[in-house]
Amino acid sequence: MLAVLSPGQGSQKPGFLTPWLALPGAEARLRWWSALAGVDLLHLGTEADADEIKDTARTQPLLVAAALLAAEHLPMHDVALVAGHSVGELGAAALAGVLPAEAAVTLAGVRGREMAAACALEPTGMAAVLGGDPDEVVAVIEAHGLHPANRNGTGQVVAAGPVAGLEKLAAEPPARARVTRLQVAGAFHTPYMAPAEAALAAVAAGITPADPARILLSNLDGSAVNHGREMVQRLVRQVTAPVRWDLCMRTLADLGVTGVIELPPAGTLAGLVKRELKGEGAPEIVTLKTPDDLPAARDLIARHSGLSGHEPVIQFRVVVAPAAGTFEPLAELAEGVDLHAGQVIGHVATRQGPVEVTAHGSGLLTEWLAHHDDPVAPGQPLARIGGHA
């Protein structure tokens, strides 16, 4: 299984979009998206210096546009799973078919402007806590009146909140950990971003999303999301909720992901995956930094998608487990039967009782991916629905 990842804020570098402008239609696409985002993406991606692209209002739409621009040159129909880190979730949602690219770029513009405005309300910031026991680190962060805004795995937790609390954390770090202040405008992914969440919700309410056409992981809890409307709600909520990238990587491992492509500006997420998913079974990784990396990315997709370019492309949707427990498919449903959207295909037995599993689209039940009494985790694929395009 192959995963495509969309990076978040902090991964940008001056001039990183310059080589992409050589591709046909790239400049026109960026001009169109600039009009939607309310910022000059061409300037920001080619001529702007590090300070200019550090501005939250500019950085967020720039990152989403860069990921979508590069993905247009990949055979995304052969990709099984997508995920994004923080604002990168907007790009991932577009690549999963939940949002049109134009909606993702527009929302990134709103998100960036409103989060920048929220940062200006009071002095807050963020700091990376590297090393130490993760649970102890979180406990110390909270004891200083701060929030664990990002849990990135590999011994990295990002604390966020008032500047005074961050200074105290630096003076009294957790055991066996070091604290590094981050050059950001404020406390992202904490309650301090509540005004930005409300503003984004008002705009997002006007969007009519589609259900994901491939597995789409959520930063909220690392689970796969079946329904487009739920994903939009999660995208809005994520402005104030912690980014659980550690749980997203755990899901990559649980699903047996064998290949990973990070979209530009690539490097940060690939590094986290490399450090977290190592040893036997570690995924093969391609960092897509310039168009020169496209052949390697396409080759990785061809080798890890399980689809041959000489066969008809199978368009499918994956139904995933809504909770942890044991799976009980409906006995009368055999592979090959027609299903309709919303039809119950089984349930997951949990300690709190059975949770229904429903088909989120019409089509053929092409394959059961889990069977009677199989233990399942949240987001684990249960069945494949679809047909030939």
List, in sequence order, the alpha helices (H) in 77-221. Answer: 88-95, 101-119, 134-143, 163-171, 194-204
* Residue among 344, 348, 353 at smallest CA distance from 327: 348
Distance, in Å, from the CA atom of 322 to the CA atom of 213, rounded to the nearest integer, reads 17
Most distant pair of Cα atoms in the chain: their distance: 63
Which token pair is 227?
Answer: 């329904």
Which token pair is 244?
Answer: 């659980």
Give the CA radius of gyration of the chain.
Answer: 21
Direct distance between the N- and C-terminal alpha carbons of the chain, in angstroms, rounded to an integer: 20
* Residue among 79, 128, 86, 71 at smallest CA distance from 314: 79
Whether 305 sits among the annotated catalytic residues: the reply is no
Distance, in Å, from the CA atom of 229 to the CA atom of 90, rounded to the nearest integer, reads 13
Name the active-site residue from 85, 147, 189, 360: 189
Whether 340 sits among the annotated catalytic residues: the reply is no
CA 362, 365, 366: angle at the middle one, nearest 5? 125
Q: Which residues contact 264 (CB under 8 A, 6 or more apart)?
A: 7, 16, 17, 20, 66, 67, 70, 288, 289, 290
| CA 168 to each of CA 138, 139, 144, 189: distance values in angstroms, whole numbers, following the listed order | 15, 14, 7, 20
Name the active-site residue from 6, 11, 34, 86: 86
Q: Coil, strand or helix: which one is 224?
A: strand
Identify whether the C-beta of residue 6 lies closer than 8 Å to the C-beta of residue 95. yes
Distance, in Å, from the CA atom of 290 to the CA atom of 22, rounded to the nearest integer, reads 10
Q: Compute the half-sphere exposure of residue 140: CA atoms within 13 Å on the CB side of its CA.
A: 24
Q: Which residues belong to the active site?
A: 86, 189
